[in-house]
């Protein structure tokens, strides 16, 4: 290994000396760098596309995942971070270490949708307790009749996202009461299209993913209505039920975090965030996510203008917080 190191160091030194000149010259080239969650990506991409066309300011968006995005954000490499969950304690600490503050802005909803095969005629709705029975860590449910005695004798095949996904974190928190606590004997994939194929190919299939993937595959899958508490009506995921707050507990907010140390005072970043909030209702719908209410966007815009930094979650993810309450908690 020694000789490799020497060689690669030599190579790098050679190259570095060649390019240092041009590097310094271009340090001031202005681009708004955004990175983070792949769930939020389509929204940011839509905004970036239109904003760049309108103003000419260059915007780039990467997909490093929510965690990877925060790593770059807290090192000051990006001005905005896409996040499908709130910033966690260790990320808050990392940002603090580097003296980076942030403004937390909820920008849309995503409805986690529980889906079954088209041939499934029995489970039109499931209670949270039933979902918990199915997905709880160590659960032994292998057949639909184990979930509810009125269900037929049909082997159950489970599909879900992998453990690195924000969707997984939120679903387990909402259904099993603890993030990342889930049975592990299911077919996991980071690619939601693989889950779609899995559930649509198995009569006893059950899976969960973001609403957009269900809406695109309505012909192959059925959505399951969720009964939040006993004796309440089952609610199907849709734009209306998410916006009026009845689709619980699987509706989750999506965020962008804006660098408040430098970004919030930069004229281009400011213009971008304002454009984002003003056009979110239209663009969010276009990419098949659920926009916030008008009043909620108004509250978020006001919060942005107040430039109050910090997170309303304090590093601990929480299910079912109202956007207005969340913003009120942030006291700079």
Partner 1 sequence: MMKENMSNSEESLIKPKTLEEVRAMIKSHKRNDFIFSSIGLLTIIFALLTLLILFVDLVMDGYPKLNYEFFTDFPSRRAAHAGILSAWVGSSLIMLVTFVTAVPMGVATGVYLEEYAPKNWFTDIIEINVTNLAGVPSIIYGLLALGLFVYTFHLGQTIVTAGLTLGLLMLPIVIVSTREAIRSIPVAIREAAYAVGATKWQVMLHHVIQYSFGGILTGIIIGMARALGETAPIITVGALTFIAFLPPAPLTSVPPFISFEWLQSGFTVLPIQMFSWLSRPEHAFHINAAAAGAVIIMLTLLMNGTAIWLRYRIRKNIKW
Find the part of the chain contacting partner 1 (CB under 8 A) among 13-21, 106-114, 163-171, 252-260. 13-21
Q: Which residue has the tokens 């996904």?
A: 165
Q: With respect to partner 1, which residue has the nearer C-beta, 2 or 267?
A: 2
By the rule CB under 8 A, 233 interacts with partner 1: no
Q: Which residue has the tokens 């490093």?
A: 64
CB atoms within 10 A of CB 297: 20
**25 burial class (0-12, 13-18, 19+ CB within 10 angstroms)?**
exposed
Q: With respect to partner 1, which residue has the nearer C-beta, 12 or 298?
A: 12
CA–CA gap between residue 73 and residue 75 (Å, rounded): 5
By the rule CB under 8 A, 280 interacts with partner 1: no
CB atoms within 10 A of CB 111: 23
Q: With respect to partner 1, which residue has the nearer C-beta, 31 or 305?
A: 31
CA–CA gap between residue 217 and residue 211 (Å, rounded): 10
Q: With respect to partner 1, which residue has the nearer C-beta, 143 or 193?
A: 193
CA–CA gap between residue 316 and residue 210 (Å, rounded): 22
Q: With respect to partner 1, which residue has the nearer C-beta, 288 or 307?
A: 288
Tokens of 97: 């270490």
Count of residues that bind partner 1 according to CB under 8 A: 49
Q: Which of 32, 37, 40, 42 binds partner 1 (CB under 8 A)?
A: 42
Find the part of the chain contacting partner 1 (CB under 8 A) among 9-17, 144-152, 238-246, 256-264. 9-17
Cβ contacts of 53 within 8 Å, gap of 6 or more: none
By the rule CB under 8 A, 149 interacts with partner 1: no
Tokens of 168: 């997984």
Tokens of 142: 């292998």
- Judged by the rule CB under 8 A, the positions of this chain that interact with partner 1 are 1-4, 7-9, 11-12, 15-16, 19, 22-23, 25-26, 29, 31, 33, 38, 41-42, 44-46, 48-49, 52, 58-63, 72, 77, 191-193, 210, 212-213, 215-217, 283, 286-288
């Amino acid at each position: 290994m020694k000789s490799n190191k020497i060689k690669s160091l030599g190579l790098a030194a050679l190259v570095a000396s060649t390019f240092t000149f041009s590097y310094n010259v271009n340090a001031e080239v202005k681009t708004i760098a955004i990175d983070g969650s792949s769930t939020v990506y389509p929204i940011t991409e839509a905004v970036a596309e239109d904003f760049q066309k309108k103003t000419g300011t260059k915007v780039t968006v990467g997909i490093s995942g929510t965690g990877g995005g925060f790593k770059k954000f807290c090192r000051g490499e990006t001005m905005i971070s896409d996040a499908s969950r709130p910033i966690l304690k260790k990320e808050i600490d990392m940002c603090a270490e580097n003296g980076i503050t942030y403004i937390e802005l909820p920008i849309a909803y995503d409805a986690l949708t529980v889906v079954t095969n088209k041939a499934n005629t029995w489970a039109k709705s499931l209670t949270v307790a039933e979902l918990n029975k199915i997905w709880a860590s160590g659960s032994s449910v292998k057949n639909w009749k184990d979930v509810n005695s009125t269900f037929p004798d049909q082997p159950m095949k489970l599909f879900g996202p992998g453990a690195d996904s924000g969707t997984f974190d939120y679903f387990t928190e909402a259904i099993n009461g603890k993030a990342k606590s889930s049975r592990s004997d299911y077919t996991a994939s980071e690619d939601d299209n693989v889950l779609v194929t899995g559930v649509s190919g198995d009569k006893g299939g059950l899976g969960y993913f973001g609403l957009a993937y269900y809406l695109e595959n309505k012909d192959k899958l059925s959505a399951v209505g969720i009964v939040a508490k006993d004796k309440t009506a089952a609610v199907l995921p849709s734009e209306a039920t998410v916006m009026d707050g009845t689709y619980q507990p699987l509706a989750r907010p999506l965020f962008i975090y804006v660098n408040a140390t430098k970004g919030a005072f930069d004229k281009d970043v400011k213009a971008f965030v304002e454009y984002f909030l003003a056009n979110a209702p239209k663009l969010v719908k276009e990419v098949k996510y659920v926009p916030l209410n008008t009043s909620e966007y108004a509250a978020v815009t006001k919060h942005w203008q107040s430039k109050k930094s910090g997170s309303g979650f304090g590093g601990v993810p929480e299910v079912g917080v109202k956007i207005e309450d969340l913003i009120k908690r942030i006291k700079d």
